[in-house]
Amino acid sequence: MLCKVLIGDTFVLHTSSMEPTMVGRRDGGDRIVLSRLHTEFADPDRWDVLLFQYPNNLSTHYMKRLVGMGGEQLFIRGGDLWVADHAWAGSLEEGRRRGRVAILRKPGPTRRAFADALPVISQGELEPFGADAWRRYCAVSKGPSERWTPDDDSGHVTVETDEPALAHLTREARDLIPDAMQPADRMTTARPVSGGAHAVGDLSFQIDVRPYADAGSVIVAIADGVAGVTIRAELAVDGDVSGGPTRLKLDDRVIATSHVRLEPGVWSSIRIENVDDRVRLSLDGADLCVRDYGHPVVPEGAEASCPASRVSFGITRGRADMRPISLHRDVHYVAAGQTRFLIPAGEYVFLGDNTASSSDSRSWRRTAIRVLETGEILQGDAQGVTSTSFTLRTGNPWSEPDGTWRFADRLGNIHSFEDPNEWHEVGTWPTPYVRREWVLGRGMCVLWPLDRFTWLR
């Protein structure tokens, strides 16, 4: 939840619901520059970070990310977002099988911004990559002919083998939100702000490789425990005539090939990315292969029991120097509260980037009471949200220390009662949608503090 601190065209965050994109603290977090023109003269786009009036208390302003558009259905499952049209009445699983439900894929700038902000193992932890980093972050089940030798002076590990040899990163990728105010390095473990209950399979791994002339193919792989698939790239080395072209595999099936090869004796930077059912293999910053695929939907309620994902690197034979650079992840949308939305035209669904700890469309609820003396029906937020409090209460009305009771209605008015017998509860219901006219502006960048300046993607 975000309380309103609006000064001119900036907004100050006071909760962690949008971390790590934007940092919020009770005593004052990031100051965000707003553009009212973006939403005054045009409708907002999916993935925009927007300021809007909270549906259950219009005097309170929230800032979240727009994920669901009017006229569509939105599903949350297995860390991903899925969409269908209003006509689909079946389950997410059946809709996926029939091609009626599709995964939502983030545009490039948004995808990269999430990856940059969500390290599983940061570059600062892996540099320099010598014996200490090798012991801390890597493990290998050695075959009879393979040897892995870390070198502190050169900052890499050398693998020599007569058969395929793989090492894997030992840190699990989970939906932890790191504290952006305390970045991790070799001596400091990142302090989590929230999350950690779910394995994450949407990962991006970067490694530098220098193959020798006798090298076979270089291997990088992501075994996605959530989707239940393994993405494996085998990058051919120039001069190796027996290994075939560079190949990208989904499990045992080749889904793409490339004639680009690694040059012996030269360092090359490899990145493999598995995000939103799209695989991307790049070499020295240029895409070699990009392929989409589909995976079976995680059964409802099974997200927390998905096995951990595994990231591996190695070589089919010969020698190569290797230097892992970093492992990052995508945002993992937690399926908590309401997870299926039939969005009316002209209304939107919003989620916080810190979905493990965010009050958003999944959890918003409205309550109504009848004032017994007058018969008036009052409506307000079920947790008593007001524009001056950062606390989500257990109910609305709520009791004060002096024994009186308060009720916050949806216009921001506070009603006082001397005794709980003065009203009767009518009911409570979900209110996940934000009307177009409640959208106030688009977040453009983090302005302050200066060391956190960044454009919002």
pLDDT in tens, 121-157: 999 899 889 999 999 999 997 777 789 999 999 999 9
Angle at 445 between CA 439 and CA 446, to 5 degrees: 110
Q: Please give the backbone phi and psi of residue 421, each rounded to the nearest 5 degrees, phi first.
A: -80, 0
CA pair distance 266, 87, nearest whole angstrom: 55
Which residue do the tokens 């120039």 mark?
238
Using omega within 30 degrees of 0 as the cis cutoff, is the peptide bond preceding 211 cis?
A: no
The number of residues in the chain equals 457
Name 91's Cβ contacts closer than 8 Å, sequence gap at least 6.
Answer: none
pLDDT in tens, 219-275: 999 999 999 999 999 999 998 766 689 999 999 999 999 999 999 999 999 999 999
Q: Outline where DSSP puts E strands in 109-197.
A: 119-121, 138-140, 147-151, 156-161, 165-169, 177-178, 192-194
Angle at 245 between CA 244 and CA 248, to 5 degrees: 115
Q: Do 336 and 362 touch, CB atoms closer than 8 A?
A: yes
CA pair distance 302, 331, nearest whole angstrom: 18
CA pair distance 410, 435, nearest whole angstrom: 14
Q: Do 373 and 422 touch, CB atoms closer than 8 A?
A: yes
User: Which domains, and CATH codes, for the chain?
Assistant: 112-328 (2.60.120.560), 365-430 (2.30.30)
pLDDT of residue 188: 60
- DSSP alpha helix (H) spans, 60-143: 92-98, 108-117, 123-126, 131-137
Q: Provide the β-strand partners of residue 229.
A: 224
Angle at 272 between CA 335 and CA 118, to 5 degrees: 45
pLDDT at 335 over 60: yes
185 token code pair: 């390095």
Q: Please give the backbone phi and psi of residue 321, each rounded to the nearest 5 degrees, phi first.
A: -95, 135
pLDDT in tens, 262-308: 999 999 999 999 999 999 999 999 999 999 999 999 999 899 999 99
How large is the average pLDDT for residues 88-115? 96
CA pair distance 415, 272, nearest whole angstrom: 57
Q: Do 249 and 255 touch, CB atoms closer than 8 A?
A: yes
Q: Supply the pTM of this predicted model.
A: 0.91
